[in-house]
Amino acid sequence: MAGGNWPRLEHLDLSSNRLNAGAITQLTQYAWTWRLLDLEVHDNPDMDVIAVQKLASGRLLFLRGLGISGGFMLNWFIEEVASAWTRLQSVYLDCDYCPAHDISFAGVWPKLKNLQIKTREPSRRGILAKPVRLELSEAEWPNLQSLDLSYSHLDSAGFSQLALGEWPLLSRLDVSHLPFSEDKFKPEHYAVFALGSWPRLTDLCLSHNGMDDECAAKLISADWPKLRILDLSYNDIGATGSASVAQGKWPDMEHLCLHGNNLECMCPCCILQEGF
């Protein structure tokens, strides 16, 4: 790629390769990379701390979109590297997490519109698998539109605190596939979550979270007037819970998914008492 002369190149996708620190160093030397707007280097198994540091020290001053993954710790990335890219609007992170302390996103990426975080348990022996505390409520993201925290190992306290996030433009929220064995989400966590003030929320996914009838009932107090899609699949919701969901004040509802739950009776009066 050294001979490339692409003065108008804006998007570069190098995902699913074998990039290492040496390759990243070479990449950042090319003049045409300095004008990149979007860079995808996720799913490169050889990406390590050094490779990410090399990438952050490059002249990617105009970068608006970044997709990156590797065996580095999420807390290290946020504290040491994330501030290098102030113009980022779209971020995809797939990395290990460190349960030693809370991970704060305060002051990071003020122009952010789309964020996706997936965390893996470190493979080193002796590290206990624990949910991770993501401090997102203090993040100042006035332009945030899409937040995907599925498979993020978010703990129950962090889940509840999402309601404190002041994201007036948020339209899509995915908090599915969260841990509920060691840190089981309880009705009170969903009660606080339902307080989230997201007037433009249209798409909400809460699948694979171990929700029972009591948890589902807490959602009906939510004030999400534009909600159109609600995914509650693969939980533990029965007829009572689904009847509670049917009482939610969501006049624009178009798609409700209850696939893979504990519904037995198909009588409308049991499943959708009020109807949408």
Q: How far apart are CA 209 and CA 96, in angstroms?
A: 21
Which token pair is 170? 């948020």
pLDDT in tens, 6-39: 878 899 999 999 999 999 888 888 888 888 899 9
User: Which residues contact residue 184 at a Cβ distance below 8 angstroms, ignoring those fewer than 6 apart?
Assistant: 156, 210
For tokens 């965390």, the residue is 119
Backbone φ and ψ of 56, nearest 5°? -70, -25
Task: Say which residues have a Cβ less than 8 Å from residue 3's Cβ, sequence separation at least 6.
Answer: none
pLDDT at 222: 94
Q: What is the pTM of this model?
A: 0.90
Q: What pLDDT is recorded for position 125?
A: 43
**pLDDT tens digits for 209-254?**
989 999 999 999 999 999 999 999 999 999 899 889 989 989 999 9
Sort strands 90-96 and 114-120 into parallel, antiparallel or unpaired: parallel
For 269, phi then psi, to 5°, come to -70, -20
> Please, what's the b/e burial string for 99-133 (b: 16 or more CB within 10 A of its CB; e: otherwise)?
beeebbbeebbeebbbbbbbbeebeeeeeeeebbb
Report pLDDT digits (tens) over 122-177: 655 445 456 677 888 788 899 999 999 998 888 888 888 899 999 999 999 999 99
The predicted pLDDT at position 1 comes to: 60
Element (H, E) at 69: strand 65-73
Of 28 and 208, more confident: 208
Residue 142's nearest CA partner among 102, 82, 200 is 200
Write down the mean pLDDT value for the chain: 86
